[in-house]
Amino acid sequence: MADLARSMSDETDLESSLERLTAAAVELIPGADTAGILMVTGPSEFESHAATSELTRRVDKIQAELGEGPCVDAALEAEMTHTADLRSEPRWPRFSAAAVEAGVLSMLSFRLFTHGDESGALNLFAAEPGSFDAESMHVGGVLAAHAAIAVLSSRKELQFKSALASRDLIGQAKGMLMERFAVRAEQAFQMIVRLSQETNTPVSVIAARIVEAGPGRN
């Protein structure tokens, strides 16, 4: 577990971090044959990440198409979802039948995070019934915490980079307006804000349009 944490901290790419984590999940969690991460990016929008097998991708696709299943429940509602035998599982009748046909009988899912319309779950699959025990749930919960940290850190980094890019664009736009209309920086910014309010358009979008238009066309 310590080796996994160190290896993930060295990764700069989110997908690579998640691939390390799901591979570790199969190795460390008793009963797990395959693993993956399902992201819910919007209403009825699902993405399969870091699948350790084609079976994981197939089961994720089934859940996305049907809109039901333990991974969906874990991503959207429950902290953890466990089913010992899909052949007798009443909660998701359509998914259960399709998953059994695909070759999955046991599943264990952990919610990673929920933020607005986005959420995610770490999912474990087994070909035999009753594959997951208390130790599986304990180790899976620890790995899910690692995955959640990786995803949320990546989101914050993207937001930070986006904020820096917006700030740079606004600075460029202000400079162009200052030169074009011989005004001070504060006045140039107020011009951008007024355009934003009058057109109901974000300040960053107004700034991007000014920069794109170029000198003399503002």
Give the chain's length: 218
Yes or no: say if 180 and 218 are a contact pair by the CB < 8 Å rule. yes
Q: According to the model, what pLDDT value does residue 155 have? A: 61
> Cα(75)–Cα(94) distance, rounded to whole angstroms?
19
Cα–Cα distances in angstroms (integers) from residue 104 to residues 3, 7, 99, 132, 177, in the given order: 30, 30, 5, 13, 62
pTM surpassing 0.85?
no
pLDDT of res. 97: 96
Q: Which of 135, 133, 136, 134 is nearest to 122 (CA)?
A: 136
CA distance 57 to 51: 6
- Position 116 scores a pLDDT of 64
Q: What is the pLDDT of residue 218?
A: 46
Q: Which residues contact 175 (CB under 8 A, 6 or more apart)?
A: 188
Contact 91, 74 (CB under 8 A): no
- Residues 6 or more apart from 78 whose CB is under 8 A from it? 111
For the chain, list residues with pLDDT below 50.
218
Nearest to 108 by CA among 75, 60, 70, 68: 70
Scanning the chain, the segments in alpha helix (DSSP H) are: 2-10, 14-28, 54-66, 70-76, 93-102, 134-181, 185-199, 203-213
